[in-house]
Structure 1
């Protein structure tokens, strides 16, 4: 009875400490039983260990009972000990069991998520399921696959990885393995490319099985707002350089105004008049010059809202976007063609090629294809409600192997950014003088480089900077951030994937650094998400080591001015600019909560609109799959143009005629989908105006999108018949190009911000302001 009461108390305490998290306590006895089997596993030879895992595969029958889970944990622990010289802790095995039961497990930085994930992936594979381990980037996918390969080998499980440089054959071989590691974008792009294949032999991806997601909060929440896109060549994008030069001369608050959270910019009346005069006295708001108005708006967005070294960097003669959630170059990410071209013109760079969108998919839809999903991260509970709402996943907290003794100091808030940075530099210099390693987390590239210069000027030696300019060096830089006397200035630390060990990579000075208090983390401002704050804090205090953290904020930080613009300084201001008072931190907390709410609504908005599109795509793909694998096109032509079909069959043979019919029908289906996507894009751009008539924009979107979709297949069939009627052939074959049947001469993939020019409300307000400005000028001209 006493033990039962003790378990109830422990469970109540856990729920109070971690509300919204799942309870894994029922699996704790299995971990203890695995410990009891440890001596048995150690007595096995390598061959016997592999055979024991193979027997588990044969006996599982697609399901694991408790006994199988105990056996897996015992064998997995021994495999890791032999292959990596690392014995998984009990809490790591608990994390493995959490993953095997379909949870998103929260494990603190340095607690061994990678190994726990590998054992879970091996468990799914031994259960007879194909596993994709989805990572945030190519580097981590390759590193983890190669790092864990010896463990998989001992368990008799094959492993491989895919990356941007992988060829089609390399991808096909990688996906044939039991476990495949890959960046979520790469696996998504392979799916998009498969969707346009015209021959079954070209397909790369197998049917989905299990998705095990590393850095799950980043992938499932942050990346979920950014669709993956497959584009086809469509000529060069025209950028209006004259408009760009005109916009470049406009002045803020005179010719244009920016809203408080920097999501929207619009011309004032004076600005519109200046632009019209510079462009030859045109009426910018007339139907005749609607294209010029659009070009002005895009150029204004590029000049006023997108900042070099904050939103993007210029490197190797190209504009490269910076991931807001990770502070690194988003290598495949770009804005829509017009905005991308406007930024390139702004930076006096050649305009990159444009293209039409052939297909796209959201991360949420990609993950939704997998029958089983699980994940791991250091900050799952913070997004537990979103994981439940959007994915039906439950978060589970794994306790640390050793209690965290990191000291998190209260935020220090200053009246101005200059005051904040001066105090931060003084703090870092003082701590550095003792030899204690310091990690400074910054908000963007420009800030990281500015603070590094100020630290150097203050006498801090050997400051190392890690940002989007040198992210290829991140593993080496992060590994040494805990060395004696190290000072590292970095952009966002989430998803860096490398632990910071006290004393450096080899831990040579561990004890000396620990005696100084361990790694000291200093944030130069709060991020738009508390999860990112915690990711930075979590770099200190790993595995029971000492550590500390503090955040420096100001009342003029963009987080506060953008999301709490009316906030007043809530307290006394000291001589050094520091604000003291009981409610100081509450202002920053409030701004952060508003920012989190805005991002959540963007996620919801993306999913509301994309859910219908994804459903339509699945319906079309089902029909396309039958066209690809069956004689659907042949039967169509036999029914609709039997005489012409007979001529074609006689002229080129049944096999070639069937291939031609398939290619023609697939071309028109894919063309119809591309045009449908263009229609939906235009529809959504204008649908916000329905709100002015008190109509629900989403309902109106559905009302227009559904009948348009229903016409695609019938139109493709009609067009196929018309095309075959026009076909010509000779002894060399059928000339498909003569009737316009050709695949894009080039395709490429990228991610695109789904909402680059603001929310629905932003666009409504921008439209209203433009109409008001137009009316004012019309009245003045009378």
Structure 2
């Protein structure tokens, strides 16, 4: 018997047919069709029919029919408001997302308008849909792109950001579709948990009486959002995996806590002592795990120094202040872990290379770094609420997401989030090719070779993107190019309109752009015909990231949408990744044997190292999840015993 399952080709053909039918209808009639679908979706929810129960379910024609109509409506509304038409691969990806899976969609394939398809479908259920991006700028850009499309169909759409008032946020959350950065959705959830925790509890029996009377006991009016129903997550692997080890922490300063805060002089005294302590004699340093351990001699010196110092008001043990000061001096590096900007310490996200002014380290570490850099020391922030990212994402009834590098993380996405990964073909064939990696014994030789390569390629007039792992390295290369008189642009780690404009013109003939790996991510690098004729964008990767997916995201900036493009890695035995494999670093140095460059390809060994590091990171995230589950069981037991 011939299968009647909805294959990707059948799905696309059916959506196209619906769109053609809708082309003959007025805007008002399109809204009428939206209202009919909205009633159907709400009815499905009332009867406990799953809103998105997996990719396989939506392959059945009987289940697929309403979604086909919804996607046809969205496609026609997009055409009327923007003049754009969905590619077949975008319709396929939208279907995968609406079915509750992860779509692996390559960079440059038009993710912004693709997210509109699942957002519209989920919004029809009437419970709200969050479209989560990695920062404020991308949320605003995507919102402004699709706002007219949603509004034509009568769907309310809003946006949140970190600068909005609570009243503005409440209004945005009441919309059927809400755009915003993922971390802000999480922080608003924590704010609501604090409000619920602070609200007076109803007296015993009041809920039962209200139920008998057909009434309800309202939740506090101070709540910002509403129950978490559905999230469409952009850059899903980065959000769900790379940032999973970093919990969302809401901090603040309460009056009672300020009374017990540390004396600012304590940080200065600890910093002076940290500069006097000697490695090995007073402390040992583990650069891989970024840990410091005191020797018996070190412990004696710490307490002896404290006994002789003037009385200090402390919020924790004195040894913690000294350890923080040592970490600030010995481990945390300027323009790598943080930058100093406008008299403030601003943290650099090690996964993305982006700068986050709103973040701060806890337990006095931020103040230790401020003391080291001689900037104003601000009072410590007190943790008011926190939640792991896995736990927060688990609060949603359904999630889906898209990214260009999902298959490598398919096991973890399945284990932690029960999400399947479905790959989507590119709209046009990919013409990206890689040049052999080059390996050097030290950073100085590597940087000199990168500058020489840039100089040679610049003479040909092709555009180049130089991707660095740290801001410090981008500044080093920028200074070297400046000394050679080679014009270029350097991007910092804050993504805003200015950075997006710069990255968008990085495909012009002769353009040289130096940026951290993730700078400008989400913005297409458009090529001119002249750039295509010169081979397209060439990406120079100055260092391997511990996570191979980040490397693939960087080289994916080249050769988008059928354009030509190329990439090449430059590797030094002194690169940070080799702190995890010193023997491999020694092998690279030995192969150079006095020559500036090794005549051997270490790509296989580096790929094996990255795989080992990713497995270690997976184990850490697994342990974090198990600890969270254990805490859940403990709290549940305590709650039962309290009844």
Determine if the TM-score, normalized by the shorter chain, exceeds 0.5. yes
Q: Please, which of 522, 528, 531 is the counterpart of residue 549 of structure 2? A: 531
Matches of 2:123 and 2:494 in 1, distance apart?
A: 39
Q: Please, which of 81, 89, 97 is the counterpart of residue 95 of structure 2? A: 97
Q: Where does 1:695-714 land on structure 2 (aligned, <5 Å)? A: none
| Two-structure CA RMSD over aligned residues (Å) | 2.8
Q: In the alignment, is residue 497 of structure 1 matched against residue 497 of structure 2?
A: no
Structure 1 residues 325-358: Cα deviation after superposition (integer angstroms, max 9, x where no partner): 1111123322113212211211222322224322
Q: In the alignment, is residue 597 of structure 1 matched against residue 615 of structure 2?
A: yes
- Equivalent position of 1:449 in the other structure: 475
Matches of 1:491 and 1:387 in 2, distance apart?
A: 26
- Equivalent position of 1:513 in the other structure: 531
- Equivalent position of 2:176 in the other structure: 178
Matches of 1:565 and 1:125 in 2, distance apart?
A: 54
Q: Contact conserved, 1:436 with 1:485, CA < 8 A, in 2? A: yes
- Equivalent position of 1:425 in the other structure: 451
Matches of 2:88 and 2:619 in 1, distance apart?
A: 39
Q: In the alignment, is residue 242 of structure 1 matched against residue 240 of structure 2?
A: no
CA positional deviation for 1:251: 4.6
Matches of 2:380 and 2:177 in 1, distance apart?
A: 36
| Equivalent position SS for 1:195 | helix
- Equivalent position of 2:202 in the other structure: none
CA positional deviation for 1:455: 1.5
Matches of 2:447 and 2:6 in 1, distance apart?
A: 46
Matches of 2:250 and 2:577 in 1, distance apart?
A: 34
Matches of 1:50 and 1:221 in 2, distance apart?
A: 39
CA positional deviation for 1:154: 2.2
Matches of 1:351 and 1:228 in 2, distance apart?
A: 23
- Equivalent position of 1:210 in the other structure: 230
Q: Contact conserved, 1:448 with 1:489, CA < 8 A, in 2? A: yes
Structure 1 residues 250-279: Cα deviation after superposition (integer angstroms, max 9, x where no partner): 454565432251522234566556656655
Q: Contact conserved, 2:430 with 2:561, CA < 8 A, in 1? A: yes
User: Which residues of structure 1 form unaligned runs of 5+?
Assistant: 8-23, 283-289, 503-509, 620-705, 715-782
- Equivalent position of 1:30 in the other structure: 11
Q: Contact conserved, 1:138 with 1:183, CA < 8 A, in 2? A: yes
Q: Please, which of 163, 167, 170 is the counterpart of residue 169 of structure 1? A: 167
| Equivalent position SS for 1:370 | coil
Matches of 2:37 and 2:521 in 1, distance apart?
A: 35
Alignment CA distance shift 1:127-1:196 (3 Å): closer
Alignment CA distance shift 1:291-1:474 (3 Å): same
Q: Contact conserved, 1:414 with 1:578, CA < 8 A, in 2? A: yes
Q: Please, which of 569, 576, 579 is the counterpart of residue 598 of structure 2? A: 579
CA positional deviation for 1:471: 5.8
Matches of 1:455 and 1:252 in 2, distance apart?
A: 37
Q: Please, which of 41, 55, 58 is the counterpart of residue 36 of structure 2? A: 55
CA positional deviation for 1:99: 0.4
| Equivalent position SS for 1:419 | helix
Alignment CA distance shift 1:274-1:395 (3 Å): same
Structure 1 residues 366-419: Cα deviation after superposition (integer angstroms, max 9, x where no partner): 110111111111111111111111111111111100111111223211111111
Q: Contact conserved, 1:419 with 1:576, CA < 8 A, in 2? A: no
TM-score (norm 2): 0.86
Matches of 2:414 and 2:451 in 1, distance apart?
A: 42
Q: Contact conserved, 2:574 with 2:585, CA < 8 A, in 1? A: no
Q: Contact conserved, 1:432 with 1:485, CA < 8 A, in 2? A: yes
Q: Where does 1:642-661 land on structure 2 (aligned, <5 Å)? A: none
Structure 1 residues 489-526: Cα deviation after superposition (integer angstroms, max 9, x where no partner): 00122772211111xxxxxxx11110101010110100
Q: Contact conserved, 2:407 with 2:421, CA < 8 A, in 1? A: yes
- Equivalent position of 1:119 in the other structure: 117
CA positional deviation for 1:107: 0.6
Q: In the alignment, is residue 200 of structure 1 matched against residue 198 of structure 2?
A: no
- Equivalent position of 1:473 in the other structure: 498
Higher alpha-carbon deviation: 438-447 or 49-58: 49-58
Q: Contact conserved, 1:423 with 1:576, CA < 8 A, in 2? A: no
Structure 1 residues 755-774: Cα deviation after superposition (integer angstroms, max 9, x where no partner): xxxxxxxxxxxxxxxxxxxx
CA positional deviation for 1:433: 1.5
Q: Please, which of 221, 230, 252 is the counterpart of residue 241 of structure 2? A: 221
CA positional deviation for 1:291: 2.5
- Equivalent position of 1:485 in the other structure: 510
Higher alpha-carbon deviation: 374-383 or 232-241: 232-241
Matches of 1:591 and 1:564 in 2, distance apart?
A: 11
Q: Contact conserved, 2:101 with 2:419, CA < 8 A, in 1? A: yes
Q: In the alignment, is residue 550 of structure 1 matched against residue 576 of structure 2?
A: no
Alignment CA distance shift 1:370-1:363 (3 Å): same
Structure 1 residues 670-723: Cα deviation after superposition (integer angstroms, max 9, x where no partner): xxxxxxxxxxxxxxxxxxxxxxxxxxxxxxxxxxxx66x778x68xxxxxxxxx
TM-score (norm 1): 0.71
Q: Contact conserved, 1:247 with 1:275, CA < 8 A, in 2? A: no
Q: Contact conserved, 1:415 with 1:569, CA < 8 A, in 2? A: no
Q: Where does 1:215-294 land on structure 2 (aligned, <5 Å)? A: 215-232=235-252, 233=254, 234-235=257-258, 236-238=261-263, 239-252=266-279, 255-268=282-295, 271=298, 275=302, 291-294=317-320
Alignment CA distance shift 1:165-1:391 (3 Å): same
| Equivalent position SS for 1:433 | helix
Q: Contact conserved, 2:356 with 2:494, CA < 8 A, in 1? A: no
| Equivalent position SS for 1:335 | coil
CA positional deviation for 1:575: 6.7
Alignment CA distance shift 1:25-1:445 (3 Å): farther
Alignment CA distance shift 1:243-1:369 (3 Å): same
CA positional deviation for 1:127: 3.9
Aligned length: 592
CA positional deviation for 1:469: 6.4
Higher alpha-carbon deviation: 361-370 or 261-270: 261-270
| Equivalent position SS for 1:321 | strand
Q: Contact conserved, 1:564 with 1:591, CA < 8 A, in 2? A: no
Which protein shows a greater Rg? 1
Q: Contact conserved, 2:306 with 2:318, CA < 8 A, in 1? A: no
Q: Which has the higher helix share?
A: 1
